[in-house]
Amino acid sequence: MLGQEKWQAGLAGLAVRLGNSHGGLGIENWNIGVLAQQWWDVGGNDDRADTNQSDIQYFINWKQNATDLIGMTPNIQIDWEKEGSDRFTVPIGMGKIGFFRWGKMPVRWGAEIQYYVMQPDPVGPEWNLKFFLAPVAANPFK
């Protein structure tokens, strides 16, 4: 009832610049990038609307120290099947990303408040509070 009931396939691309220092104001103290994804429906319930969607997560984070970041990581959503400004959901935000250990397991955490400068009318979100916890796995290729 709430899902799209569609199989989707698409492309993704990542462009990133990771700073190698922290605590200062130069470019080396910032992580900046964008992860863009595009999906089209390739099957599923024919009674449901077609899907053609993009998600663009941009991130701008200042490296406070070796493990903590301050900045934003919102997701812009675009529904290409809709018309006009109803296509776009565009947040801006500010938050903190940190690090802790749970036993021997390293874990990333984050919290961010986001305001939507553009959202579908009349049901689009106005504010969002985002939390996450992510276990950090060792690089298997090292």
Q: What residues make up the domain containing 107?
A: 6-135
Q: Number of structural domains, the chain?
A: 1
Q: What is the pLDDT of residues 64-78, one digit of tens each?
A: 999 999 999 999 999
Task: Tell me which residue of 129, 127, 72, 135 sits closest to 109, measured CA to CA.
Answer: 135
CA–CA dist 39, 87 (Å, integer)? 15
- List of residues 6+ apart from 48 with CB closer than 8 A: 4, 5, 6
Whether residue 20 is contained in a domain is answered as yes
- Residues shown for the chain: 142
Q: Global pTM? A: 0.83
Whether residue 58 is contained in a domain is answered as yes
Whether residue 142 is contained in a domain is answered as no
Whether residue 129 is contained in a domain is answered as yes
Residue 124 CA, chain-centre distance (Å), reads 17
Whether residue 141 is contained in a domain is answered as no
Catalogue the E-assigned strands of 64-126: 69-72, 75-79, 88-102, 105-118
Q: What is the pLDDT of residues 25-62, one digit of tens each?
A: 999 999 999 999 999 999 988 888 899 999 999 999 99
pLDDT at position 125, please? Answer: 83
Whether residue 72 is contained in a domain is answered as yes
What does the buried/exposed string (b/e) look like for 72-82 if buried means 16 or more CB atoms within 10 Å of the residue's CB?
A: bbbbbbbbeee
Q: What is the pLDDT of residues 117-129, one digit of tens each?
A: 999 877 778 999 9
